[in-house]
């Protein structure tokens, strides 16, 4: 990677993706605005980054395609428009050398954003790894889903599972090798998901494993794996990864999630690894929140991911520029 490209990583590009129809409960359309209101852009600026807010993505000018929608994929046509628009925008943002942060919106946005990012990194000779912080595996397909909600198909689509081949239209598909996909914090899965995950041998750290071994050991395992293959890392953070007592403002709460301290430790370790080149934060539903608690927590966690510390510690992050 060129020296000039690394210098550009002091820049952060923020893009809101107000999609809500991938989930069963409406409200995530307000997520990007809530994260901005909670001070995300200002916080990143105080950490030394040059932050450009690209506003919210719009699909008003995207035409519908003529492919036959698959069965059991609710709101397929509209999500197809979001995915086509976002994968192109994500690719361009990554090419610019900035660090893209996508503000959701439900988790269907990752089908577009991660695909575009993976395409870029493959072109420059490095593979993109994804760590998926989520209470759910999101590894259903139209053939296995019990609900038809497409936010539960995002991870499966990104790893190349069949059933949504037309989702990108004419945009290139850059699937993530299942060996480069890391599920973290899962505590709710359908049986067909379990079967697929086992067949694909996808790495999964569920809450039992987190309780038994601790966040630090498991995050270090991911970091070492990415470094060993000279990869880069995308952090996909679904706020329902957190326990509902910490983050009530999500539509799919599952008891027994990560604590505030565990989540911050994970973000700080990922920052110190110097591997993170993009992120998304998804499933914030301000309609369900309590006086902005979940939005503020999300902002604080993104701050930790990009270098915010309570005290200065002798970690690798002290020896580099922000986002280098």
pLDDT of 198 over the 80 cut? yes
Q: What percent of the chain has pLDDT over 90?
A: 90
- Split at pLDDT 50, 70, 90, the class of 105 is very high
Q: Which among 244, 243, 226, 245 is positioned nearest to 235, based on CA atoms?
A: 226
Q: Is 224 a catalytic residue?
A: no
pLDDT in tens, 106-126: 999 999 999 999 999 999 999
Confidence of residue 320 (pLDDT cuts 50, 70, 90): very low
Asked whether the predicted pLDDT for residue 23 surpasses 80, the reply is yes
User: 287-297 pLDDT, tens per residue?
Assistant: 999 999 999 99
For strands 203-206 and 11-17, give the pairing: unpaired
318 pLDDT exceeds 70?
no
pLDDT in tens, 221-260: 999 999 999 999 999 999 999 999 999 999 999 999 999 9
* pLDDT surpassing 60 at residue 153: yes
Name the active-site residue from 120, 151, 264, 271: 151
Determine the pLDDT at residue 2: 38
**pTM for the predicted model, two decimal places:** 0.93
Q: Specify whether 120 is catalytic.
A: no
From the list 182, 283, 289, 300, the catalytic residue is: 283
Average pLDDT, the chain: 93
Active-site residue flag, 134 = yes
Q: Which two tokens stand for residue 64?
A: 């519908």
The question of whether 271 is a catalytic residue gets the answer no
The per-residue pLDDT for 7 is 35
What mean pLDDT comes out for the span 178-189?
97
User: In the chain, what are the helix, strand and coil shares in percent, each to the nearest 5?
Assistant: 40, 15, 40
Question: Which of 240, 280, 289, 300 is flagged as catalytic?
Answer: 240
Which of the following is catalytic: 20, 182, 193, 238? Answer: 238
Residue 85 vs residues 52, 183, 209: alpha-carbon distances, Å: 19, 26, 37
What integer pLDDT is reported at residue 24 of this predicted model? 82
Q: Is 138 a catalytic residue?
A: yes
Asked about 182 being catalytic, the answer comes back as no
75 is a catalytic site residue:
no
β-bridge partners, 285: none
Q: Look at residue 299 and tell me whether its pLDDT is greater than 70.
A: yes
Cα→Cα distances 238→5, 105, 241, Å: 29, 10, 6
The position carrying tokens 């820049």 is 11
Residues 249 and 241: their CA atoms lie apart, in Å, by 12
Catalytic residue of the set 20, 106, 134, 300: 134
Cα–Cα distance measured from residue 41 to residue 33, given in angstroms and rounded to the nearest whole number: 11
Does 177 qualify as catalytic in the annotation?
no
Average pLDDT for 54-72: 95
């Amino acid at each position: 990677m060129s020296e000039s490209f690394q210098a550009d990583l002091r820049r952060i590009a923020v893009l809101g993706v107000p999609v809500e129809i991938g989930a069963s409960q409406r409200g995530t359309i307000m997520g990007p605005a809530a994260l901005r209101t909670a001070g995300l852009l200002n916080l990143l600026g105080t950490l030394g980054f040059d932050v450009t807010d690209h506003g919210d993505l719009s699909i008003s000018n995207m035409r519908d395609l003529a492919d036959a929608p698959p069965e059991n994929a609710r709101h397929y046509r509209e999500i197809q428009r979001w995915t086509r628009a976002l994968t192109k925008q994500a690719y361009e943002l990554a090419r610019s050398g900035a660090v893209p942060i996508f503000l959701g919106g439900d988790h269907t946005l990752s089908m577009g954003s991660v695909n575009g990012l993976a395409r870029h990194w493959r072109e420059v000779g490095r593979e993109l790894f994804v760590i998926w912080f989520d209470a759910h595996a999101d590894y259903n397909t139209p053939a296995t889903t019990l609900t038809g909600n497409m936010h539960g198909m995002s991870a499966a689509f990104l790893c190349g599972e069949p059933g949504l081949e037309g989702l990108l239209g004419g945009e290139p598909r850059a699937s993530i090798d299942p060996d480069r996909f890391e599920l973290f914090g899962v505590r709710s899965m359908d049986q067909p998901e379990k079967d697929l995950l086992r067949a694909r041998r996808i790495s999964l750290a569920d809450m039992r494993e987190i309780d038994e071994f601790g966040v630090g050991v498991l995050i270090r395992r991911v970091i070492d794996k990415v470094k060993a293959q000279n990869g880069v890392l995308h952090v996909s953070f679904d706020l329902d990864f957190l326990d509902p007592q910490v983050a009530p403002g999500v539509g799919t709460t599952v008891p027994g999630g990560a604590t505030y301290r565990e989540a911050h430790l994970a973000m700080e370790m990922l920052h110190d690894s110097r591997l993170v080149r993009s992120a998304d934060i998804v499933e914030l539903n301000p309609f369900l929140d309590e006086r902005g608690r979940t939005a503020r927590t999300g902002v604080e966690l993104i701050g930790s991911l990009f270098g915010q510390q309570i005290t200065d510690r002798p970690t690798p992050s002290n020896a580099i520029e922000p986002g280098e």
